[in-house]
Amino acid sequence: MKKSKLLKIVSVLLVLSLFVSVLAACGDTTAPASTPANDTSSTAADSTPVESEPTDTGTDEEPYKITMAIIGNEQPNQDKVWQAVNDLMLEEINMTFEPILLSFGDYQEQLRMMLSAGDELDVLPIFYDQASSYINSGQIVDLADYIYDYGQDILNYMGEDIATSGAVNGFIYGIPANKESNTRSGIVMRKDIIDEIGVDVSTLKSPRDLTAVFEQAKAAHPEMDMISGSRVITTEIVDPLFDWFGVLMDYGQDTTVTNYFESKEYKDRADLTKEWYDAGYVKLDAATTTETNANLVKAGSLFSYMAPIKPGYLIQENINCGTEMVTAYLGDLDGGYQESLWTSSVNFFDWGIAQQSKDKVKAMEFLNYAYNSPEWNNLMNFGIEGEDYVPVEGSDVLIDYPEGKGIGDAYHMNMGWMYPNQMIGKIWNGNPEDLWDQYTEFNKGAVLSKAFGFIYDSSSVATELTALNSVRTEFMASIETGSVPDVDQAIKDFNDKLYAAGLQKVIDLKQEQLDAWLAAQ
Amino acid sequence: MSTKPGVIDRRISRFGRIKKWLPLYLMMLPGAIYIIVNNYIPMFGIMIAFKQVDFSKGIFASDWIGLKNFEFLFASEDAMIITRNTILYNAAFIVLNLVIGIIFAIFICDVINKRLKKLYQSAILFPFLMSMVIVGYIVFAFFSMQNGIVNKSILPALGQEPIFWYNDPQYWPVILIFVNTWKGVGYGCLIYIAAINGIDPTYYEAAELDGAGKLKQIWHITLPCILPSIITLTLLGVGRIFYSDFGLFYQVPRDSGMLYATTNVIDTYVYRGLMRQGNIGMSSAAGVYQSVVGFLLVLVSNLVVRKISKENALF
């Protein structure tokens, strides 16, 4: 009898303890549930609370905490660097700093989650193709209300035209990161093979010139793929007006919105790619491969790929590919080319303020500071001087790893193009000392698209865009890698489906808004 | 003290009954709370599907826009294809997992060696536990056009030309159904094994005495006895007929555009269309559409089951 009673009590206790532990587990999980899937990337940020010590500041005001979403990989020495950023900001603008590190793989989903859940967030990166949807769902703030009062330094530094160019219907969603904007496409090839087959790279002007190169290289290395990528030919000859659904032909000089996928240019490119695919030059799995081109080169299976090329590009690519590469700028199929700039190339990447920011004025003041502080940009990009980098002897601007350190030992975010203003910061060794001047020249050398500064408001065609995006993923990679059995048929099917999905409505909308915008200029 | 359970109930007061079953109620509580918190409370989000969500106003204050969010599901000519693919694939999955699952369950239950029985049981469940991403790479190892086992070794050995697997949609119904069966059959199989093990062995002994062969025993004893499990699993499958295994249809064909004719299903369509736009109204609309249709289908199939044999209906 006694034994069974004891058993009963024990069993009730067990059940109770199970219940409590389940509840406890619930309690644990509800807190981060607002930002699920954060565990891979932002745990680092979460676990490194940057202490705020509001003591030795000039004012009596409580420091404001800036929460900033950034994109990149976790770095060694990260906590210390961010603490240093925090200290710097506390001293200079009486704010503390809480970065949230998002990974490249899923930052879009993460940002959406944070915006939707109302997580603490002040400043966020905005890629141009996201702006319209952020605005439509009221997730970001119109900077027009703040930039003129609290962002004077940005206006002075960048010029009002550029600083306020990230706007849709007058809604300024962000300030462009100050970087090289005009990236011209070209071919990146393995130098040893080019030397072996004896090609003069400077003679390469058009993608058509590559056929002969591939022929020789393939003969010398039949086991290798000549070229890969989900879009094989990447040189741009039109202003894509953000999403390619209705473009401006002739580098944006023609103000009639047309369907690029129906153009002769598009077909010529598709035919050339198909020719390469059939000749065995294009990687057979190019349309579905998830491996980066640089990694394929590193693995020894790929000879070349096309990419946007900017000053200093080779330094970066030689590292990524693990072997010496050569580049050549390429133009369109006739060999002609015009340097050009369109809105999406300048406003490719902007910094904006989240709707849930507790103090939007402070957030704007922070941006104003971040666009103008070399110390801030250097710290975020390269870490602490003496620990993560040292100046190169005999140069004011060049820096390099300290003695005995290398990739993986020191903080080296190396994402200058993402931070508000890399062009007031240091330059990594191997680049020319006048890199920033080259960038400026590079930007200046371009012709502006007629629609430069124009961003269309897509809210009324959200349904159509959803269907169009789906059609584009269906056809774009397979046509532009040459994997389709019949190019003409594929292009025809592609366009039929685009029109069925409402392409004409989007084109008309763009044309209407563009005409109104041009008239107002 | 051994009395019949029904008798004891009437003698004990209501309070006594509750006290007696308290541990059971407590055991139920976590599950009930979990379901309420996780499955019922979020249902308020259904209204997002009918709103133009504006975060500066908040969800409740956002404007109602009727069925506009649902339009994109029917906007393109893909609507037919994705609906057809989703339903046909799921129907094939339900039938195959049922038939093959039961066959394997019967085989495994007849294995006499205990250790081998355990081994087969685990082996058949193993693929079920694997991530679709990994399965996608396994399939790619076979069918990669450049380095795949099939194109590199098997087809040349048979004297055949290599096939561009990822460029040609006609092969994919077979591949996808095979992969799903390989991966999913273990789960149902396990449930059928449990059901078969629960059958009173005296039935079989009696049948054997009467001279019934193995097939007759299966037909007249095993199948009728596990019918409730079959119906439950099938109804669950039917309820999810408008959902599709995203990993299977996205990871395994490696999102190859040329295969969409046979690999595009509702979930992948929604993902591809909305990935760049992040319109949560439209995403919820897709979810609501799938669950409403699924719910109706469950009601209908349960009705059918009840018409045929009342005691086997779920509700």
Same fold, A43-179+346-379 and A183-338+458-521: yes
List residues in chain B touching A: CB distance below 8 A: 22-23, 26-27, 29-30, 33-34, 37, 53-57, 68, 71-72, 75-78, 144-146, 164, 166-167, 254-258, 260, 264, 269, 272-280, 282
Q: How would residue A195 be classed by pLDDT, with cut points 50, 70 and 90? A: very high
* A82 vs A315, more confident: A82
Predicted pLDDT of residue B2: 45
Q: Which of A452, A449, A455, A450 is nearest to A168 (CA)?
A: A455
Q: How much of chain A exceeds pLDDT 90, in percent?
A: 42
CB-CB under 8 Å, B68 with A463: yes
Predicted pLDDT of residue A129: 75
- Record the tokens describing residue A319, joined without a space: 């590292």
* A332 vs A171, more confident: A171
pLDDT in tens, A450-509: 888 788 888 888 888 888 988 888 899 999 999 999 999 999 999 999 999 899 999 999
Mean pLDDT of A407-413: 81
Q: How would residue B273 be classed by pLDDT, with cut points 50, 70 and 90? A: confident
Whether A335 shows a pLDDT value over 80: the answer reads: no
What is the least distance, in Å, from the CA of A218 to any CA of chain B?
16
Give the number of beta-carbon pairs within 8 Å between A and B.
Answer: 137
Predicted pLDDT of residue A17: 55
In terms of average pLDDT, the best of B94-103, B110-119, B306-315 is B94-103
* A520 vs A280, more confident: A280
Q: Select the residue of B57, B76, B254 nearest A500 (Cβ to Cβ).
A: B76
Predicted pLDDT of residue A57: 46
Helix (H) or strand (E) holding A43: helix A43-46
Q: How would residue A48 be classed by pLDDT, with cut points 50, 70 and 90? A: very low
CB-CB under 8 Å, B75 with A463: yes
Whether A130 shows a pLDDT value over 60: the answer reads: yes
Pick the residue of B18, B144, B279, B280 with the most A CBs within 10 A to test the interface with A by mutation. Answer: B279
Q: Select the residue of A11, A283, A475 nearest B146 (Cβ to Cβ).
A: A283
CB-CB under 8 Å, B76 with A501: yes
- Record the tokens describing residue A138, joined without a space: 């009221």
Helix (H) or strand (E) holding B298: helix B280-308
* B218 vs A345, more confident: B218
Round the average pLDDT of chain A to a whole number and report it. Answer: 83
pLDDT in tens, B32-72: 999 999 989 888 888 888 988 887 777 788 888 888 888 88
Measured between beta carbons, which residues in chain A are less than 8 angstroms from residue B29? 19
Q: How far apart are CA B255 and CA B252, in angstroms?
A: 8
Mean pLDDT of A299-309: 91
According to CATH, where is 1.10.3720.10 located in chain B?
49-312
pLDDT in tens, B206-238: 999 999 889 999 999 999 999 989 988 888 888
ipTM above 0.90, yes or no: no
Predicted pLDDT of residue A8: 63
What is the least distance, in Å, from the CA of A193 to any CA of chain B?
22
Residue of B nearest to A22 (CA): B30
Specify the CATH number of the domain A43-179+346-379. 3.40.190.10
Q: Select the residue of B27, B53, B278 nearest A15 (Cβ to Cβ).
A: B27
What is the least distance, in Å, from the CA of B241 to any CA of chain A?
22
- How many CB atoms sit inside 10 A of residue A4's CB? 8
Measured between beta carbons, which residues in chain A are less than 8 angstroms from residue B146? 225, 283-285
Measured between beta carbons, which residues in chain B are less than 8 angstroms from residue A112? 278, 280
Q: How would residue A167 be classed by pLDDT, with cut points 50, 70 and 90? A: confident
CB-CB under 8 Å, A118 with B255: no
Measured between beta carbons, which residues in chain B are less than 8 angstroms from residue A484? 167, 258
CB-CB under 8 Å, B71 with A463: yes
pLDDT in tens, B107-137: 999 888 889 999 999 999 999 999 999 999 9
What contacts B24, CB < 8 A, 6 or more positions away? none
Predicted pLDDT of residue A51: 43
Q: How would residue B294 be classed by pLDDT, with cut points 50, 70 and 90? A: confident
Whether A128 shows a pLDDT value over 90: the answer reads: no
Pick the residue of A288, A465, A496, A498 with the most B CBs within 10 A to test the interface with B by mutation. Answer: A288
Compute CA distances B212 → B209, B216, B221, whole Å.
Answer: 8, 6, 10
Mean pLDDT of A305-333: 84
Fold of B49-312: MetI-like fold (1.10.3720)
Mean pLDDT of A114-131: 86
Q: How far apart are CA B125 and CA B261, in angstroms?
A: 31
pLDDT in tens, A411-457: 888 777 888 998 888 988 878 888 888 888 877 777 888 888 788 88
The structural architecture, per CATH, of the domain A183-338+458-521 is 3-Layer(aba) Sandwich (3.40)
Predicted pLDDT of residue B311: 80
What is the least distance, in Å, from the CA of A520 to any CA of chain B?
28
Terminal-residue alpha carbon distance, chain A: 94
Mean pLDDT of A323-341: 84
Residue of B nearest to A142 (CA): B56
Q: Select the residue of A108, A284, A467 nearest B76 (Cβ to Cβ).
A: A467
Residue of B nearest to A465 (CA): B273
Residue of B nearest to A357 (CA): B56
CB A165 within 8 A of CB A406: no
Measured between beta carbons, which residues in chain A are less than 8 angstroms from residue B269? 470
Q: Which of B132, B134, B153, B133 is nearest to B143 (CA)?
A: B153
CB-CB under 8 Å, B57 with A115: no
Mean pLDDT of B284-302: 88
Pick the residue of A466, A479, A489, A496 with the most B CBs within 10 A to test the interface with B by mutation. Answer: A466
Q: Select the residue of B68, B72, B257 nearest A475 (Cβ to Cβ).
A: B257
CB A246 within 8 A of CB A258: yes
CB-CB under 8 Å, A355 with B56: yes
DSSP codes, A445-506: TSEEPTTTT-----GGGHHHHHHHHHHHHHHHHHHHTT-SS-HHHHHHHHHHHHHHTTHHHH
Measured between beta carbons, which residues in chain B are less than 8 angstroms from residue A26? 33-34, 37
Measured between beta carbons, which residues in chain A are less than 8 angstroms from residue B55? 115-116, 118, 137-139, 355-356
Whether A3 shows a pLDDT value over 80: the answer reads: no
CB A423 within 8 A of CB A310: no
Predicted pLDDT of residue B298: 87
What is the least distance, in Å, from the CA of A73 to any CA of chain B?
22
pLDDT in tens, A235-279: 888 888 888 999 999 888 999 999 999 999 999 999 999 999 999
User: For chain A, which residues make up each domain, given as ranges?
Assistant: 43-179+346-379, 183-338+458-521
Q: How far apart are CA B219 and CA A53, in angstroms?
A: 78
Q: How would residue B150 be classed by pLDDT, with cut points 50, 70 and 90? A: very high
Q: Select the residue of B55, B164, B279 nearest A138 (Cβ to Cβ).
A: B55
What is the least distance, in Å, from the CA of A3 to any CA of chain B?
16
